[in-house]
Structure 1
Amino acid sequence: MERQQVTAKRSLTKATEDLLNRQIMMEGSSSASYLSMASWCEMTGYENSAKFLYLHSDEERQHMLKIFHYVNEAGGHSIQPEIKDIKHHYSSLREVFETILDHEIAVTNSINEIVNHCYEIKDFTTMNFLNWFVEEQREEETLARRAVELFDLIGEDGVGLWTIDKEILNLIGGEGDAE
């Protein structure tokens, strides 16, 4: 016997639900990409960068789940994203962190687009929910920008890459064992 879906009245519009599901996809893709980057770093000897990226992958999945639950609780239907086209190989550690910065800027733009949509349709509940993500993205961009700056500040010659890899965990307060 097939169970019927409960249809309740809701204030969440279909357009907002679609935008939030697109953001769920973006957060899921972030998690998968950072996991792939962590694997590349681990296999190429950048242990601290790998730890940083494993933590970051978990954090991105939590962001995805936060939106996932919100959509369902607001009467919508969250869609499990199909994650495709994940890059698995990088030419350098710098490329990894430049890719992260570019991606975090794209996520910020996406969040801002959804907030603007909510403002225009006066969905202040969803807009309020998204304020956490607005603040989080400022932190994410700053962290990614700082990681890229390490390459210019320290340099990649000699022990530069080793030093950068050591410093990466310090960006997040030294989580994990950097020794």
Structure 2
Amino acid sequence: MLTEKMEKNLNKQVNAELYSSYLYLSMSAYFSEINLGGCAHWMRLQAEEELAHGLKIYDYINERGGRPVLGSIDAPPQSWDSPVDVFENVLKHEQKVTSMINELVDLAIKEKDHATNNFLQWFVAEQVEEEASASDVLQKVKLASSDAGGMFFLDQEFGKRVLHSEE
């Protein structure tokens, strides 16, 4: 059984994950608009992954006898200055999500909720991967941004991305 405080904060994280999905979907739309279909595809898959993360927490709340409560989701930005700007925002956003996951872990420890702490460890590991991926992609986009051919090649590579399966 979840404590009231843990349930409230897990629900807050569900909302944050759904916002992440909205954000990446908005970034996908931006890339489609500027004819970078591979980048749009990469972001679309990222949006799907974030939705899956939100549902994973949603299901966990149910499994522990809690009640998922869905709040309103703020509208994400609609445009960016450049592909570099987009991926800089991705990295910043993933760092923020990491901070939120760490706060949940701290709360689970404080509440002596070992099951939730165990559950959250998957997200801790996932955020290491998310930040590393965002940083790697950002560096590649920065390198390619001054060369149209380089950006074209990178866009083609991003179009080959496949969604990794959730455990």
TM-score normalised over the length of structure 1: 0.85
Flag the 1:84–1:155 CA change in 2: closer, same or farther, 3 A.
Answer: closer
CA distance in 1, matches of 2:45, 2:137: 15
Structural mapping, 1:100-115, within 5 Å: 100-115=90-105
Work out which of the two has the higher radius of gyration on C-alpha atoms and give 1 or 2: 1
Q: Is the 8 A contact 1:27 1:60 kept in 2?
A: yes
Identify which of 18, 22, 28 aligns with 2:8: 18
Question: Hey, what does 1:97 align to over in structure 2?
Answer: 87
Q: CA deviation at 1:175?
A: 2.8
Instruction: State the identity %.
Output: 37
Segments ≥4 residues shifted beyond 4 Å: none
Q: CA deviation at 1:161?
A: 2.4
What's the secondary structure of 1:39's corresponding residue?
helix
- Larger RCO (CA within 8 A; separation ≥ 6): 2
Cα distance per residue 1:84-126 (max 9 Å; x no partner): 2311111111111111110000000100110011112210000
Question: Hey, what does 1:42 align to over in structure 2?
Answer: 32
Gapped regions of structure 2 (runs ≥ 5):
none
CA distance in 2, matches of 1:168, 1:156: 18
Q: What amino acid is the match of 1:140?
A: E
TM-score normalised over the length of structure 2: 0.91
Q: CA deviation at 1:169?
A: 4.6
Question: Hey, what does 1:81 align to over in structure 2?
Answer: 71
Please state if 1:33 is matched with 2:23. Answer: yes
Q: CA deviation at 1:41?
A: 0.4
Q: CA deviation at 1:155?
A: 4.3
Q: What amino acid is the match of 1:112?
A: N
Identify which of 135, 140, 148 aligns with 1:150: 140
